[in-house]
Every structure is written in C-alpha cells, then in structure tokens.
Amino acid sequence: MQIHSKLPTVGTTIFTVMSSLAVEHKAVNLGQGFPDFMMSEELIALVNAAMKNGFNQYAHMNGLPLLRERLAEKIFKLYETKINADTQITITPGGTYAIYTALTTVLQPGDEVIVFEPAYDSYIPNIEINGAKPILISLQYPDYSIPWDEVKSKVNERTRMIMINTPHNPTGAVLSENDIEQLRSIVANTNILILSDEVYEHLIFDAIKHQSILCYPDLLERSFVCFSFGKTYHCTGWKLGYCISSPELMKEFRKVHQFNCFSCDTPKQIALTEFLKNEEAYLSLGSFMQTKRDFFRELMKATPFRLIPSHGSYFECYSYAGFSDENDFDLAVRLTKENAVTAIPLSSFYKNKTDNKVLRFCFAKKEETLEKAVTKLIHIK
C-alpha cells in the first residue's frame, strides 16, 4: 500500500513524547500544559445534573444557543464589544480544533501565512496540510517581542493570514496596545485575515490588560478568535472551546465544522451555560495563577536556571545556558531520566531549528508538586 503523507516531516507532538517519558520515569511532569489540581466541584455537579436531566442528545451544530448567549454577555462585559450569538460564535471541541477549522476554512494552496516562532505546535502543520506556506518570523529573544519591521517586509500579495497568540505559549509573552496598532497598520486596506489564539485570555499577570482582538471591531471583521474552556476551567481533558468571527467568516467556518465534528458534548454545554453566571470563576483566575507563578519563581531562584520573565499563560521559560551547552531536547530528556522532572525544550516550537538553551515549565500545579520538582533541580549540573 502506497501512502503519500500529507505531513511528511511531522513526527509525534512533543507534548505526547515528553508526557510519555515522564510516565515511564515517574517524573514530576511540568511539561505538557495541564493543571494537576481539581476543577470546580460545582461545575462537575452541573454536568452530572444535565446528564441525569436527560440532556444527552446532539446539541445544535453551532453550539447550545443559550451558551452562546452567555458568552456574548461575557464578551460585552469584558471587552465592550457586541457579538451576535447567532451568527458569530461557534462552540468547538477545543481551541486546537477551532484553529484548525479556521485555517481550513480560508486557506488555499499557495497562500502565505505569517507565523511567529516559537509557535504552538499545531499551527504550522495546520497551515501545511491545507497546502499553504508558513512564513516564519522569529520572536526576538529574550523578550519574545514581535519584530514588526520584518513582518512588514514579508507581507506581499500572497499573504492570506497573520497568526497571533496572546498570552503566548510557550513564552508567556503578551501583546501590547502598540502591537495591536502595528498589526492594524499592516492589515489596513488589505485582504489579510487574522487568527488570534486567546486561549490564555484570563491568565495574564502584573496588572496588564489582555489585548483581545474582540476589543477592536475593525480587526474582528477579518479575524477568527479562538478560546478554550479547558484552560479557563482547569479541565483540559474536556476539549471544549469556541471561535468568534465576523458573520461572513463564521458562515464559511460552519460549512467546514458541520462535516467534521458537527456538534459538541451536550451536558457540558448545559453545565457551562449555568456556570458562566459565576463571573468570579474566571475573573479570579489571573491572581490565582499569578500566585502560582510567583511561588514557582521564588523556588527556582535556588536552582542554576535563569528566569526569562513573562506576564501570562501558565508557562515560564528558563535559560540553562549558564550551566550546560547540551541541546535543549537532550537536556529535557536527561532531566526526566536523571532528575525525574519533565519540561519542554523550546526548540520544539521552532521549525527553523532555533535552540537558545531554554526550557518551558508549566506552573499550573499544586504548590507541593512545584516544591517536589524544584527540589530535584537544585543540584542540576
């Protein structure tokens, strides 16, 4: 049987590779991004109640109408933008699916998509599987800011999309108002679309305001904005999220979505509709996670790792250039096998083979987990 791979250069995602290695070596897993603490008992009870009350059949293909209404209310409160729940929101099985669907909806073979590296690992394969071409631009080490002059120089008539991600995975960098201005000036009077990955919208620290594309109606007109309930409610295994766009773009998005998953988990949508009334559950998330970040930062000072400061997501990056010159993947494997701590090598988020000697650690963990991990890192050489 001859198979022509659609992704000939792609292997298994680093998250699966490192999590499997962590299990094999019984390592504390600060690699793949997921909390190790319990999600809300109230939300679990709401799902149970929905199932017992008989909400176990297909939901509307665009998502439960009431859930979309609630999201529109939330968006208005947070970002002061009116979203039409009927025509602009689609509930998806996770943020990753929303991103894939958006790209598949609009990309044609030969289109160019500007992607900033390091990039969340699904972006580039999602572009390539659609026959489009990723145009790679490296974020500037060590603050991981966007080199806007380079972006301007790479835009041409084939540029179909620019992908942004704030707060950023893997670096924790966040976009500023100035970044949005730069983006606006580049896309003005063009047909360039924007994919804005905002799954960490609430995980932003140090009193910084999240620059959502939803705040800017002129940009939203040409954007797909993607979110994840898994990240917001500590239930990454639920794989539930949503996409927001203009009515015109959303109409096309739904044409693809309806023949892929069609609709999402009904009892969880019922439960989330109720739980969204609890504003505190998402408004408190930033300070809750900042406390964890600061706790982890403090502990890490006792190790030879050097912090690369950031303001968002549930990851922090650390340089090990001061104590080792081995490549970052080898160090991540060695840490797992010899020190029983797992992190993610940053080179995995680059297609252009960049290795700045940096590892990403996930701090969305119980304090005891973070303590246990750092204790094992203190004497690393």
The answer to the question of residue 118 lying near ligand PMP (CB under 6 A) is no
Of 189, 156, 202, 233, the residue nearest 312 (C-alpha): 202
**Degrees (nearest 5) of the Cα angle 22, 28, 32?**
65
Among 62, 169, 303, 342, binds ligand PMP (CB under 6 A): 169
Q: Is 15 in the site for ligand GLN (CB under 6 A)?
A: yes
Instruction: Give the residue at shortest CB distance from ligand PMP.
Output: 94
Please tell me the distance from the alpha carbon of residue 254 to that of residue 89, in angstroms, as a whole number: 10
Provide the mask over 155-194, with x wherever binding to ligand GLN is found by CB under 6 A and - wherever it is not: --------------x-------------------------
* Contact partner at residue 101 from ligand PMP, ligand GLN, none, CB < 5 to 8 Å by partner kind: none
134 binds, among ligand PMP, ligand GLN, none (CB under 5 to 8 A by kind): none
Q: What are phi and psi of 373, to 5 degrees?
A: -65, -50
H or E element that contains 28: strand 28-29
Among all chains, which residue has been given the structure tokens 């309930």?
229
Q: Is 211 in the site for ligand PMP (CB under 6 A)?
A: no
First to last CA, the chain: 49
Phi, psi of 266 (to 5 degrees): -70, -55
- By the rule CB under 6 A, 33 interacts with ligand GLN: yes
Query: Which of 159, 165, 342, 347 is the binder for ligand PMP (CB under 6 A)?
Result: 165
Choose the binding region for ligand PMP from 180-188, 228-236, 296-304, 363-371 (rule: CB under 6 A): 228-236
In angstroms, give the least distance from the CB of 175 to ligand PMP: 13
Q: Which residues pair with 318 in a beta bridge?
A: 307, 359
**Segment interacting with ligand PMP, rule: CB under 6 A, options 19-27, 171-179, 233-241, 331-339:** 233-241
Which of 173, 377 has the CB closer to ligand PMP? 173
* Binding at 118: pick from ligand PMP, ligand GLN, none (beta carbon under 5-8 Å per type): none
Closer CB to ligand PMP, 165 or 303, in the complex: 165
- CA–CA separation, 376 and 303 (whole Å): 9
Q: Which does 265 bind (CB under 5 to 8 A by kind): ligand PMP, ligand GLN, none?
A: none
- Residue 319 binding ligand GLN, by CB under 6 A: no
Per the DSSP assignment, residues forming a β-bridge with 317 are 308, 360
Interstrand relation of 358-362 and 315-319 (parallel, antiparallel or unpaired)? antiparallel
- Please provide residue 140's backbone torsions phi and psi, each rounded to the nearest 5 degrees: -80, 115
Which 64-93 positions form the footprint of ligand PMP (CB under 6 A)? none
For residues 192 and 155, is the Cβ–Cβ distance under 8 A?
A: yes
Q: Minimum distance from CB of 273 to ligand PMP (Å)? A: 18
> Considering only residues 35, 230, 286, 312, which one is a binding residue for ligand PMP as defined by CB under 6 A?
230
Q: Least CB distance from residue 353 to ligand PMP, whole Å? A: 21
Considering only the stretches 201-209, 236-244, 246-254, 269-277, report the one whose residues sit in contact with ligand PMP under the rule CB under 6 A: 236-244
**Residue numbers 200-229 binding ligand GLN by CB under 6 A:** none
Residues 6+ apart with CB under 8 A from 174: 166, 167, 168, 204, 208, 210, 211, 310, 311, 312
241: Cβ contacts below 8 Å, ≥ 6 apart: 91, 92, 93, 94, 95, 96, 97, 98, 199, 226, 227, 228, 229, 230
Is-contact 79 201, C-beta < 8 A? no
Task: Tell me if 102 contacts ligand PMP by CB under 6 A.
Answer: no
> What's the maximum distance between 2 C-alpha atoms anywhere in the chain?
59
Which residues of the chain form contacts with ligand PMP (CB under 6 A)?
Answer: 33, 94-96, 120, 165, 169, 197, 199, 228, 230, 236, 239, 241
Which residues of the chain form contacts with ligand GLN (CB under 6 A)?
Answer: 13, 15, 32-33, 169
